[in-house]
Each structure stands twice: as structure tokens, then as C-alpha cells.
Chains A and B, each alone.
Chain A
């Protein structure tokens, strides 16, 4: 489903060299999906200003974490007084999606590219790079995929850091209406992407999390995100398992 077997004979002639694949990656990186990512980073920078967490700290989270949901969870939990341990667990849980992304993406690389250097380039792996690479990889020879991936992902990361700083700086300078629009980008973006979730268990998880989040926040703000995620997600997962087990039982003669 995800490996090279989609196209048994990928067009080897699409790129002359790894350099050409890298350059195409960079070119593809300055288009609509990445502009959305940059807008999110601007909004996150502006939110960092509103939270009062400081320019160096706000920018450092983009440099070191480079995953907006995790960064916003970090900020929200810091502000609501969560403990270090629960912050670490909650952010790591939101980043667990990178395990699945890497597991589906990297088997498509050429065997020679599956080397220790991957442990460095994986830092630029994010939703945008993953989506584009999953789409483009089958259309190129395996030996060009690693270069294309880094060519795409590196500018995404490198542009995100100054975009965060820029968002932070302008939030204090522009009229309030612009700041409002900036800090509104990320909640709106998350809300909109929920409509693209197809798996019933994940849809139920979104519904439960959406209801439990505010309720838990009123009970104990510091633990609310982690608790809503674990309770809502586990309930949705359990429901899915129960359903598939029932389906299996009913299906028997």
C-alpha cells in the first residue's frame, strides 16, 4: 500500500541526479501547502507573544520541536500550570504520529539511503512533507527520493523558524484586528482538518475530545489536555475494537 510496489517501474529519467531531485523538492516547497504551514507558524509566533513566553523561547520551540500541535500543547500546558512530566507525556503523544509517518515513508527510500544520516533528516519530517512525499515518491526512482525529501523538508523547517519570530514581533506592532486574525489561524486550521479524518474511531475520538476538553479544563486545567486525550482516545479505540469483534462474531456461520 505504501511502498514502491505502487509503480513497479518508476520513471528513472524524471531526475538526472540526486541534486536535480533536491532542487525539485525545494521548488515544490514554495507552494500552497507550505504557505499554510508558514501561516500557522506566524500565528503561533503571535500566540507566543500573547502568552508572554518571550521571543527566544517561542522561536526555539519551532527550531527544536517543529510540530505545531505539540508546540501549542506545550504553551497551553505551561500557561495552565501543568507539571513537567505531564507536559512531556502530552507533547510526545501528539508527536507519536511521526512514528507512523516515518514507518510508512522511509521503506520507500533506496536501500543505500537507509543509513544513520536519516536520523538527522527525520527532524524535518512533518505533516506537509509527509503528504507531499507520499504523493511524489512513486513518481520517481528510489535513489532520488531521499534528496527530494530533504529538498522539500529542509526549507519548510528553515522558513518556519523566522516565520515564528516574525509572527511574534508583528503581534506587538500591528493593529489588534491583525493579531486576532493571526492567533485565530491555528485553532481554525485544526478545526478544518478534522473534516478530512475518515476513520470512524478517529472521528469518535475527535467528538469525545472536543466534549471532554472543556469539561476537564473546568475540573483541573493543568491535566485537562492529557486526560481528555487519553480518556477520549481510549474510549474511541475501545469502541472500534468492540465493533470489529462483534462484526467478526456475527460474520461467523
Chain B
């Protein structure tokens, strides 16, 4: 079920991920003052990032592994929709109430089942 989790593989992945992330941060320092934040490459990178995080999020909600997989998909989607409702009911500053609603509902589900 869990392939490729030997020490070298995970250590190598951590190294590449850490270096890649630091290069992005340092690259920003290097480029700051020399590049326009509105350039086309940033627009593309931003779209790719959003698309990847959306793919990750939907998969974590619809087909998760581990503990969340024991919760029926209808419950997961329903809690997501209710939380989005709290977030969108009034624009601005609703993130914390929405987050508390969603985690609270998941906790209540876990206690009641």
C-alpha cells in the first residue's frame, strides 16, 4: 500500500523539496527590484499552483487515505459545502468562523458515529 517509503527515498524527496522551496524564496530576493510582478511567467506559475492545490484539495476531500477515508464521502462533501456557505454568507473576515464550523462538524460527526 505504501511504496517507496524507505529511508533514502524519503530523505531524497525532503532534500529536493527543501532546496526547491528555498530556491524559490531566495530567487524572489534576487529578483526583487529587477522584475515586474505582473510578468507572464508569474501569471502562468500562479495558475499552475492553484490548479495543483485544487487537485490536491478535491482529492483529499473526495478520495482521502487514512482516517478521513472512514468518513462517508457524503459527510465530507456536506461539511465542505456548509463551511463554504459560512465563508460566503458575508464577504471578508469569515475564514475563522468557517474553519471552526467545518472542524467542529467533523468533530461532532466523529463523536456521534
B92 to chain A, nearest CB (A): 9
Give chain A nearest CB distance to B53 CB in angstroms.
Answer: 5
Is residue B63 within 8 Å, beta carbon to beta carbon, of the partner chain?
A: yes
Once A213-B56, A229-B55 are accepted as A-B contacts, the answer to whether A118 and B17 lie under 8 Å apart by CB is no
* List of B residues within 8 angstroms of A196 by Cβ: 95
Mask for A151-191, Cβ within 8 A of B = 1, else 0? Answer: 00000000000000000000000011111110111111111
A36 to B46, CA, bound (A): 23
Q: What are 19 pairs between A and B in contact, CB < 8 Å?
A: A57-B14, A64-B18, A73-B52, A74-B13, A81-B4, A92-B20, A93-B52, A95-B21, A95-B25, A178-B107, A180-B110, A181-B103, A190-B53, A191-B83, A194-B54, A205-B46, A213-B55, A214-B63, A233-B44
Taking chain B's interface residues, is the majority helix, strand, or loop, or is none over half, making it mixed?
A: helix
User: Is the beta-carbon distance between B2 and A52 smaller than 8 angstroms?
Assistant: yes
Q: Are B55 and A103 in contact (CB under 8 A)?
A: no
Q: Is the CB of A98 within 8 A of B28?
A: yes
Interface residues of B in 14-35 (CB under 8 A from A): 14, 16-29, 31-33, 35
A191 to B85, CA, bound (A): 12
**Per-residue A-contact encoding for B49-62, CB less than 8 Å = 1, 0 else:** 11111111111111
Interface size on A, residues (CB 8 A): 109
Q: Which residues of B contact A249 (CB under 8 A)?
A: none
Taking CB atoms, residues of chain B closer than 8 Å to A69 are: 49, 53, 56
Q: A76 to B56, alpha carbons, bound, how many Å? A: 8
Is the Cβ of B10 less than 8 Å from the Cβ of A57?
yes
Majority SS at the chain A contact face: helix
Q: Which of A5-13, A136-144, A220-228 contacts B (4 or more CB under 8 A)?
A: A220-228
Give CA–CA (A188, B48) in the complex, Å.
20
Query: Given contacts A84-B13, A193-B95, is CB(A101)–CB(B59) below 8 Å?
Result: no
Q: A71-B17, A92-B21, A202-B50 are in contact. List 14 more A-B contacts (CB 8 A).
A: A61-B14, A61-B17, A73-B52, A76-B60, A91-B20, A96-B49, A103-B42, A122-B26, A187-B60, A194-B57, A209-B50, A229-B52, A231-B51, A233-B52
B103 contacts A185, CB within 8 Å?
yes
Check A180–B49 contact: CB distance below 8 A.
no
- Contacts A52-B2, A79-B2, A234-B48 given; indicate if A192 touches B98 (C-beta within 8 A): yes
- When chains A and B are docked, how far (Å) is the Cα of A253 from the Cα of B111? 66
Indicate if the CB atoms of B107 and A84 lie closer than 8 Å: no
Contacts A205-B50, A209-B53, A214-B62; A189 near B29 (Cβ below 8 A): no
Which residues of chain B come closer than 8 Å to A192, judged between CB atoms? 83-84, 87, 95, 98-99, 102
